[in-house]
């Protein structure tokens, strides 16, 4: 493959970091955005520790989702943009706009800059949160054709932010995009090897299990995908002709209960997983607790319900072949085990 010039937004992020590693490994030239050049040494060091090669092909620029400054320079001369940066704050937040505004307005900033710079394609990281929230529990098989119902039960600020940002992106492409192509990625709960000190994505679940912060688990089911496969799907979508104008749901296999995730961690880590919970909290107790604890209320609508997902389109169009969820869970646990004491 001819090396491409690729801008990756949010270089310090979990998915973005894995995208950068794989892009460099494949010989591409990467420009990555950070909010301050003071962070460059730390981010570069994290990537180096994670096995980065061709580091001379990576450079950093300053750009913030909340400001127009820097975006024209960031996209200048780029062939492709992977817009990965977005606030990740699932659950209850004090002010929903703290999540929604940066996600939506930041996405539009990136798209405008990419269009004006004549970038060929933007691959946008959306989320399963833009697909399956607010729907009835009727056994529906979720695909890329589905959208989250914003007025449905259990839709939090993060779900709203991902849905509104992606819808705004498609509206922009339809009305103002010119020749810019857009592809969106819809990963389910992302787990896998942690890089650096920060823990993000669904790896928080694994961390809380390991450090004892989650002594019991609610009867919730989580569909899991490996971060390395999420990154590879982004890269496959950069040049695949069939990916233009398409959404891709990134999942693999049935959703796992939190209790099953704990069992996987214990089987892999042994004594290092001694704090991982074994007991499941009855649904009625979760419902009672949610009356007094606002952070638990979003969980109530999904108690005992395992959402079904299809990755047929990603396999068929992109040639994507993801790992089993167990691999992502174990990789996350192994990279976190030394931190919990």
Instruction: Report whether 173 contacts 108 (CB < 8 A).
Output: no
Check: CB of residue 180 under 8 Å from CB of residue 111.
yes
Exposure pattern of 96-124 as b/e (b: 16+ CB <10 Å)? eeebbbbbbbbbbbbbbbbbebebbbbbb
Residue 290 exposure: Cα atoms within 13 Å on the Cβ side: 19
Query: Using DSSP, how many helices (H) and how many strands (E) does the chain show?
Result: 11, 15
Find all residues with CB under 8 Å of 325, minimum gap 6, and list them: 191, 223, 224, 225, 226, 252, 253, 256
Produce one character per residue of 304-325: b if its CB has 16 or more CB atoms within 10 Å, e if not: eebbebebebbeebbebebbeb
Q: Three-state DSSP class for 339?
A: helix
Residue 168 tokens read as: 């705004």
Catalytic residue numbers read 162
**How far apart are the C-alpha atoms of 80 and 121, rounded to whole Å?**
5
Going by C-alpha positions, the residue among 112, 229, 280, 130 that lies closest to residue 182 is: 112
Residue 276 per-residue DSSP state = S
């Amino acid at each position: 493959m001819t090396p491409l010039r690729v801008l990756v937004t949010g270089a310090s992020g979990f998915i973005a970091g894995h995208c950068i590693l794989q892009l460099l490994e494949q010989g591409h030239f990467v420009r990555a955005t950070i909010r301050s050049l003071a962070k460059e040494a730390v981010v570069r060091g994290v990537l180096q520790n994670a096995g980065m090669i061709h580091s001379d092909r990576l450079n950093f620029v300053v750009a913030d989702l909340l400001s127009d400054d820097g975006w024209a320079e960031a996209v200048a001369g780029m062939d492709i943009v992977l817009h990965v940066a977005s606030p990740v704050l699932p659950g209850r937040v004090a002010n929903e706009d703290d999540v929604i505004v940066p996600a939506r307005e930041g996405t539009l900033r990136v798209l405008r800059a990419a269009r004006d710079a004549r970038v060929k394609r933007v691959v946008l990281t959306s989320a399963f949160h833009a697909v399956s929230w607010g729907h009835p529990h009727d056994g529906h098989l979720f695909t890329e054709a589905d959208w989250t119902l914003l007025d449905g039960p259990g839709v939090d600020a993060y779900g709203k932010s991902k849905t509104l940002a992606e819808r705004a992106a498609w509206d922009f492409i339809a009305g103002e995009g010119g020749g810019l192509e857009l592809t969106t990625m819809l990963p389910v709960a992302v787990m896998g090897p942690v890089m650096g000190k920060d823990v993000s994505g669904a790896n928080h679940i694994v961390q809380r299990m390991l450090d004892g912060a989650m002594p019991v688990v609610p009867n919730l089911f989580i569909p899991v995908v490996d971060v390395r496969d999420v990154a590879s799907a982004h890269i496959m979508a950069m040049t695949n002709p069939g990916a233009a104008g398409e959404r891709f749901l990134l999942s693999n296999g049935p959703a796992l209960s939190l209790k099953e995730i704990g069992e996987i961690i214990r089987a892999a880590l042994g004594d290092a997983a001694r704090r991982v919970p074994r007991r499941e909290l009855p649904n009625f107790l979760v419902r009672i607790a949610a009356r007094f604890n606002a952070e638990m209320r979003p969980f109530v609508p999904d108690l005992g319900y395992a959402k079904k997902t299809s990755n047929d389109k990603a396999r068929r169009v992109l040639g994507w072949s993801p790992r089993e969820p167990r691999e992502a869970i174990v990789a996350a646990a192994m990279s976190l085990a030394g931190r919990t004491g």
